[in-house]
Structure 1
């Protein structure tokens, strides 16, 4: 989801508008940090690298080189960190702040200074955060719950039809439809009609295009990008234009009184003034925030659900334990209440363990607010930055044990969580700019896993081997599951139908938290 914000801090300065700053600027003793052994002049560390999987390539280098290492590409050096002690030091908000670089900065042409992509010194992110944060409090979440159920009913209806036809389900595709409809409905009162389409909604296609293009920009020298990516650049311009048109139409309809959200996120963007300054979001910033929420609000959650369903299908003993919890907590009712979702503690552990192994936002960058020593050892000048590889941090054997690659939800048993050092589990980023929609995503994902476990047995394709596609976020590629419908529980027939809320349900939380 989009990220929250904090005060700008002492690193305020005019950011570089294009390209990415070389990490060696500000790392006085860069030579002390290991690097890959076979470096090609001018091109850098490209031997064995795949431009389609830069994060997974970096994981491989991390295993070889240790908890801090560097890679060079086209004359620019980048520092990567995954050791728990180093990552914990970078989490110190007094000395480090979010760094907007690499693929994140490449998204600024479409979303500018929205919550996720704003530089620390830009004022609009603080304004947007203060206006929008109440939209994720408990009262607001309770208002979203019936709409989440309504979208889940569309998913299960679709899966029932696939099951009746003897077809396996397209997990990443269907989770993308689910999460797009959920954030669109709850946040903006809009229905994309995703489950009525045989192909992805054009908004999803445009979104995937912009994310993929942003990552691809990292794989070519910045001066040559206009020439090497000419065709891709034209396609990206068309994708950005489609995103803008979609959101402009949505906002125009809301201003005209068509499809009012009764206090949803879009109403907040359009109607709510800052509680202290009275300032409102500009029309341009509203567009940027809506695109950010629609993209980030569904892309990461769909990946988290897809990885969780993959692991559940491969670990029937875990699925059985999680299903038993759902049956015990929800009883015979088909329609769980908001508080019943929070009581699915083992299901939540399944989700957390999936996010540990495959955090769908696989890295985050931190920059020094002042001249400092990272972990008391590596000098960093003000503005120097490093990329924390979340997937490797989550696999650090010093924290997670020699079996860190093994899927085990009991790693998130309360006792195990208390025994671990802080800052070792970071699927939503860190600090004051960690994900503003974390509770929204966790509630949605836990609810959906509970509903699917209760309704279906999940059967994997025996020949499938997990492949992960990267487009700034991570998603299992080509994941399909076979379903078996579980028998209805006794007494469930008299319960309300799943997702009873109508498809045009509106958010009933106007002013929640104000």
Structure 2
């Protein structure tokens, strides 16, 4: 009864500060070891997938909701999917897609210029627009479709059916009794209907993509879906992803890509709105690098270290993935703990990034800490290995480069074109959006005022 589902990560992090970097908790009748020391977290993550796997309960419930792709795959299934998904995520595909992702960012700029020009719309929840933006980006990357939710608004079958998946997954993970296997509440029936619709939408697109590729065998992939269909294992060219694996991974990309990117981008803009001096410093770099352009391309963004620092600070302070649940596959030792087969482990991936032992002034939003020749003495130590938002070791997130690119686009576009201010309810001392946990961590509404820059 001590646990509140929507702030579960904060409870575990607070207990780590009270009880230390390794403690035990009984959760749903199961003894679980909670580890927050970043060196130990990295050690556990390096032992995947042979010595640790994702919590079995999580795998079962992900399979029930039919998004058990690379995220929950283990053993031989994971090795197969990882090889082929890595082939699909090669940098050349991102570079091919980059101009269209820049165009979608231009649309976000246009929408925000309209809002800034209207006094009644100039203060708004940026997270809502960023969700539409991230969905446009994700659907373009995954399926090669330009749905343009930013300008068209309204409902889209992929977006409206994504809404309940992560919150329902989190609620089921934390449930003491899996009641939905015996009877379904209205919210369960709603989400399962959404999953059925998503399945029809995605499998239809897989069939269409296969038809396009069969009709033109020399066609280069124009989406991640086509890249997954074409992916081959260099050691075994016959090894390919089947339609079920492609579906599960496409759905995982849709759910995770929209959710994590929009959450982090909203937090990033909130922190910039709180710090006018940092906004000015970011704007100085962006203006210098972009010249007359309003949105950077991939090459320009690569040459903007302060912008990249802004992104990394948002990832450090407001990780969208602050928890990881694993199970030991064989006995072993981690730190001072001897563990047995089946030991449940929860990794707190953010605690080290908020610890003075790893980052000086850990609660300050300080982008320059990521630039070696600009780091202030007060921001030492600087343990970059303790930034674990994308994981670590063999199962580092394959979408990391795409996520960094999208966040960099948002940061640079906003600084180039707007001045950010906190909305009225966020100006009070101590006021800030709440961290809400629903398997990923998102902000409560982030109401900001955007003013178009006058040059």
TM over 0.5: yes
Residue aligning to 1:77: 31
5 Å-filtered alignment, 1:273-422, equals: 273-277=232-236, 278-334=238-294, 336-375=296-335, 377-401=336-360, 403-414=361-372, 420-421=382-383
Question: Which of the residues 54, 60, 73 maps onto 2:8?
Answer: 54
Deviations 1:87-124 (A, max 9, x none): 24324438844424565653222345411111x2242x
Task: Supply the distance in 2 between the matched residues of 1:62 and 1:317 (Cα, whole angstroms).
Answer: 33
What is the CA distance between 1:481 and its match in structure 2?
1.2
Task: Supply the distance in 2 between the matched residues of 1:176 and 1:58 (Cα, whole angstroms).
Answer: 27
List gaps (5 residues or longer) in structure 1. Answer: 1-45, 489-514
What is the CA distance between 1:450 and its match in structure 2?
0.4
Residue aligning to 1:459: 421
Q: Does the Cα contact within 8 Å between 1:107 and 1:211 map onto a contact in 2? A: no
Task: Supply the distance in 1 between the matched residues of 2:172 and 2:296 (Cα, whole angstroms).
Answer: 45
Q: Does the Cα contact within 8 Å between 2:16 and 2:22 map onto a contact in 1? A: yes
Is the alpha carbon distance of 1:467 and 1:422 closer, same or farther for their aligned partners in structure 2, counting shifts above 3 Å?
closer
Residue aligning to 2:166: 211
Q: Secondary structure at the match of 1:482?
A: strand
5 Å-filtered alignment, 1:62-461, equals: 62-93=16-47, 96-101=51-56, 106-118=61-73, 120-123=74-77, 125-166=78-119, 167=121, 168-199=123-154, 201-224=156-179, 226=181, 230-257=185-212, 262-263=220-221, 264-277=223-236, 278-334=238-294, 336-375=296-335, 377-401=336-360, 403-414=361-372, 420-421=382-383, 423-461=385-423
What is the CA distance between 1:448 and its match in structure 2?
2.0
What is the CA distance between 1:400 and its match in structure 2?
2.2
List gaps (5 residues or longer) in structure 2. Answer: 427-431
Q: Secondary structure at the match of 2:445?
A: coil
What is the CA distance between 1:232 and its match in structure 2?
2.8
Deviations 1:56-104 (A, max 9, x none): 2222222222212222233222221112343243244388444245656
What is the CA distance between 1:486 and its match in structure 2?
0.8
What is the CA distance between 1:478 and its match in structure 2?
1.0
Is the alpha carbon distance of 1:337 and 1:197 closer, same or farther for their aligned partners in structure 2, counting shifts above 3 Å?
closer
* TM-score normalised over the length of structure 2: 0.88
Q: Does the Cα contact within 8 Å between 1:215 and 1:471 map onto a contact in 2? A: yes
Q: Secondary structure at the match of 1:222?
A: coil
Deviations 1:457-506 (A, max 9, x none): 01111322221222211111111211111125xxxxxxxxxxxxxxxxxx
Residue aligning to 2:443: 476
Structure with greater helix percent? 2
Is the alpha carbon distance of 1:421 and 1:318 closer, same or farther for their aligned partners in structure 2, counting shifts above 3 Å?
closer
Q: Does the Cα contact within 8 Å between 2:56 and 2:327 map onto a contact in 1? A: no
What is the CA distance between 1:206 and its match in structure 2?
2.5
What is the CA distance between 1:135 and its match in structure 2?
3.4
Tell me which moved more, 465-474 or 347-356: 465-474
Deviations 1:189-241 (A, max 9, x none): 11333124545644333223111111111332135454686333222211211
Task: Supply the distance in 2 between the matched residues of 1:127 and 1:418 (Cα, whole angstroms).
Answer: 41
What is the CA distance between 1:276 and its match in structure 2?
2.2
Q: Does the Cα contact within 8 Å between 1:179 and 1:302 map onto a contact in 2? A: yes
Q: Does the Cα contact within 8 Å between 2:32 and 2:343 map onto a contact in 1? A: no
Task: Supply the distance in 1 between the matched residues of 2:160 and 2:65 (Cα, whole angstroms).
Answer: 15
Task: Supply the distance in 1 between the matched residues of 2:350 and 2:115 (Cα, whole angstroms).
Answer: 33
* TM-score normalised over the length of structure 1: 0.79
Q: Secondary structure at the match of 1:463?
A: helix
